[in-house]
Amino acid sequence: MTSRMAGRILILVSLMLVPLVAQADSKDKDKDKFRFLEATVAQLQAEMAAGSLTSQQLTRAYLERIQELDSTGPGVNSIMELNPDALEMARNADALRRKGVVLGPLHGIPVLLKDNIDTGDRMQTSAGSFALVGQSPLLDSTVAAKLRAGGAVILGKTTLSEWANFRSFESISGWSGRGGQAHNPYGIDRNPCGSSSGSGAAASSNFATVSLGSETDGSIVCPGNANGVVGLKPTVGLTSRAGVVPISHTQDTIGPHARTVADAAAALSVIQSVSSDGRDPATGGVPLGWQGTGKTRPTNIPTDYTKFVDPNGLKGAVLGITRQGLNGFDPLVPTPAPVTAAVEAAFKALTDAGATLVDLDALGYNFSGGPGEFEVLCFDFRNDVAAYFATRSGVPVAGGTLQSAIDFNNAHAAIEMPFFNQDIFDLCESMAPGPDDPQPAFGNVTYNQALKMDHDFTVTNVDGALSAQHLDAIVSATDNPAWSTDLLYGDHFIFGTSSIAAAGGYPIVQVPAGAVFGVPLGISFFGTAFSEPTLIRLASGYEAATHARAHNLPTFAATVPFEHVKGPLQQGEGDEDMHSGAAASRALPAAAAAQSAASVQGAAAAKPKTMSEKAKRVLHGL
């Protein structure tokens, strides 16, 4: 976050806030005293219904917490911009409630949106790039419009990986030219993963009740894993992408981060499109994995997903387990033994809760991901981003093309490319224009051939396993625990499993499952298209059986692990606040100075050399 941005937030919050939350006393300063800590949608709705809480009070409390822990204090930097109309929205929600009108499960509930989701108000929608800063979008995205219609309070926009992590093979998750580097509330030096970095970090930090992110391949579930929250990636087309800065119409989807499965389910109930919204064709159709199979969009899509939450949801379930890739993408960088042990403990919890596991690897299924995925994303992006630019005015790339964004970055390299380049942009722009044109960068495979490869992968392996083995879902670990943010060498993905569902457009529910030295670890439940009810039942059953997040809340530590790391001359000095927000805030100036002073063009040691290696590295964070 720039100092100018921090100043704007400070001024805004100081005007809007009335202190509501008692501060921690000096004897208990490392214990979070926030009044609404871990408060759920149901609990907050009950308080508002009883008249003991108003939406204005709740909104002010979240704004105060953001000021205390995000823009100052430890400096999570998960918030890009606060909504100057948030308190007015809260007042309107309170006024309707007094008249007996409640518009939905999120009525009066503060929600944060990733900064690639259009809001037709006074806020920017920039995807983290100054190329989209200027005049605000003219219209709400469909999901923002549904939040307004449901009485939710749009609290602000969250930081993200610039262009949803699709600008460079050397990108750093959570960094953008406009937003700076987002951090992880479990350890400020840890990465929040991306691209919905701020969304995951903000939900984990209790900066709002729920937040919205977007996913192409991993960008909801990876931040969920890294920040210890639930990440619900819906079926492609269940939530509209209209008014969302795109990567790919084939794979993009919008979904929630929340601290409980029930809260994620409540948010999905509000933002989903049961039928076509008239703006995104996918809301009237089926995702790639179902296309050409004779399967059609269900006519009984639920309107309330919270009814599928079941604390006993794993009893009698039959789950397919895959460990493919969990030993690491690179044999020279294997998964550490403590992580492997934590994954196996998470799998054991499934059987302890009453599920039966089927070893899918022993049966020969392939869960490496769609072989044509990266080509599909590149081809889609060039066309889809130009279509989005056509909806904007008063910003540098309005009405332009991908080349317009490339030119903007080259002209403003000091602010847009201080750490990494735009080689993915360049690759996408270089592709042949037709869907049946051979693409030399991808072994002369055409776009349509790549689509078929991804479709066949999904039908054979995902749907094939679910059907032949009579499974309720497929399960695996989500990603490796969060790495320390490294602006020189970039992201440190060891493994990730989101590609199982990505190419076919299928849903995932990621749920906290444990921790390694205090760093969260999650597992993911995968299903076929429109299987969200089943996945919610299973994930909520796992959550009830393990209470993994409740046992490991964020501490806003400067680093994690924070025990057994001091030298002999440091013992006894500042031990009591080693993992407090105060300690974290003292560590930030040096980190910020290092970021602003550095100027590298994505030069990193031991970079992957082949296209497939580069694609594997960048996928799982889109």
Give the H/E segment covering residue 519.
strand 519-526
Question: Judging by DSSP bridges, how do beta strands 473-477 and 318-321 pair with one another?
Answer: parallel
Structure tokens at 275: 């039928």
Catalytic residue among 114, 233, 614, 616: 114
In whole angstroms, what is the distance from residue 282 CA to residue 417 CA? 34
In whole angstroms, what is the distance from residue 523 CA to residue 323 CA? 11
Respond yes or no: is residue 199 known to be catalytic: no
Do 572 and 348 form a contact (C-beta atoms < 8 A)?
Answer: no
Picking from 235, 133, 222, the residue whose alpha carbon sits closest to that of residue 179 is 133
Query: Which residues pair with residue 54 across a beta bridge?
Result: none
Structure tokens at 282: 């996918």
In DSSP notation, 94-140 reads HHHHHTT---STTTT-EEEEETTB--SSSS---TT-GGG-SSPPSS-
Sheet containing strand 79-82, strands side by side? 79-82, 153-158, 110-114, 210-215, 253-258, 230-233, 508-516, 519-526, 473-477, 318-321, 356-359
In whole angstroms, what is the distance from residue 416 CA to residue 402 CA? 15
Q: Phi/psi at 445 (nearest 5 deg)? A: -70, 135
Catalytic residue among 173, 176, 199, 219: 219
Do 163 and 127 form a contact (C-beta atoms < 8 A)?
Answer: yes
In whole angstroms, what is the distance from residue 350 CA to residue 538 CA? 10
Do 100 and 113 form a contact (C-beta atoms < 8 A)?
Answer: no
Q: CB count, 10 Å around CB of 454?
A: 26
Alpha-carbon 545 to chain mean position = 24
Q: What is the residue type of 445?
A: V
Q: What is the residue type of 4?
A: R
In DSSP notation, 303-362 reads S-GGGG--TTTTTT-EEEE--TTTT-SSTTSPPPHHHHHHHHHHHHHHHHTT-EEEETTT
Q: Phi/psi at 501 (nearest 5 deg)? A: -100, -15
In whole angstroms, what is the distance from residue 132 CA to residue 537 CA? 39
Q: What is the residue type of 528?
A: T
Do 36 and 44 form a contact (C-beta atoms < 8 A)?
Answer: yes
Do 34 and 21 form a contact (C-beta atoms < 8 A)?
Answer: yes
Respond yes or no: is residue 607 known to be catalytic: no
Catalytic residue among 195, 199, 214, 476: 195
Look at the alpha carbons of 346, 347, 349, 350 in this order and tell me if their dihedral is positive or negative: positive
Q: CB count, 10 Å around CB of 582?
A: 15
Respond yes or no: is residue 195 known to be catalytic: yes
Structure tokens at 201: 């970090």
List, by residue number, the catalytic residues: 114, 195, 219
